C-alpha cells in the first residue's frame, strides 16, 4: 500500500526525541522551512541506544505498532525471515506544508537504501 503523490498525507503521532548536535547533510536545509525525521518499527528504548552509538542527525520516531508504516510505505510481510513479525519498507516522502504528498520513493527490497539524490529530491519537493 502506501501514499501516492498528490494525496493528503495521513496524520500521525509517534514517540521520538530531538536529533543530536551533528545534523550531517540535513544542515543544508535548515532555515528553508523543511523538517526531516526518520521513522522505524522499533521500540523507543532501542532507538535511543542506536542514536547514542550512531548519532543519526535527525529525530527518529518509533512506529512499533507499524500503523504509520502501513499508511505511508507498507510492510515487507511476504519476504520476512523466521521469527520476524513485521518489517517496514524503506521509503522517503516529501510532504509540503499544506500536507500534500509531493514525492514518494519506496525500496523494492529490504536491502535497498535511498541515495542522497532521493533524499534531496524529497526535501526539495516539500518546499526546501
Q: Locate 114 and state its grid cell.
A: 535511498
The fold of 15-125 is Glutaredoxin (3.40.30)
The pLDDT mean for the chain works out to 80
Mean pLDDT across 64-79: 83
**pLDDT at 19 exceeding the cut of 80:** no
pLDDT at 23: 47
How much is the pTM? 0.76
DSSP element (H, E) containing 91: strand 91-95
Ordered by start, the domain boundaries in the chain are 15-125
> What does the alpha-carbon distance between residue 88 and residue 64 come to, in Å, rounded to a whole number?
10
Mean pLDDT across 80-105: 82
Amino acid at each position: 500500500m502506501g501514499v501516492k503523490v498528490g494525496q493528503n498525507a495521513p496524520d500521525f503521532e509517534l514517540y521520538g526525541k530531538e536529533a543530536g548536535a551533528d545534523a550531517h547533510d540535513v544542515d543544508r536545509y535548515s532555515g528553508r522551512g523543511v523538517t526531516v525525521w526518520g521513522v522505524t518499527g522499533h521500540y523507543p528504548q532501542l532507538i535511543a541506544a542506536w542514536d547514542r552509538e550512531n548519532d543519526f542527525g535527525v529525530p527518529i520516531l518509533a512506529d512499533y505498532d507499524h500503523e504509520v508504516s502501513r499508511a505511508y510505505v507498507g510492510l515487507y510481510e511476504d519476504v520476512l525471515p523466521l521469527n520476524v513479525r513485521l518489517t517496514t519498507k524503506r521509503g522517503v516522502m516529501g510532504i509540503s506544508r499544506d500536507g500534500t504528498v509531493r514525492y514518494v520513493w519506496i525500496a523494492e527490497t529490504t536491502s535497498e537504501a535511498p541515495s542522497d539524490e532521493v533524499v534531496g529530491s524529497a526535501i526539495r519537493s516539500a518546499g526546501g
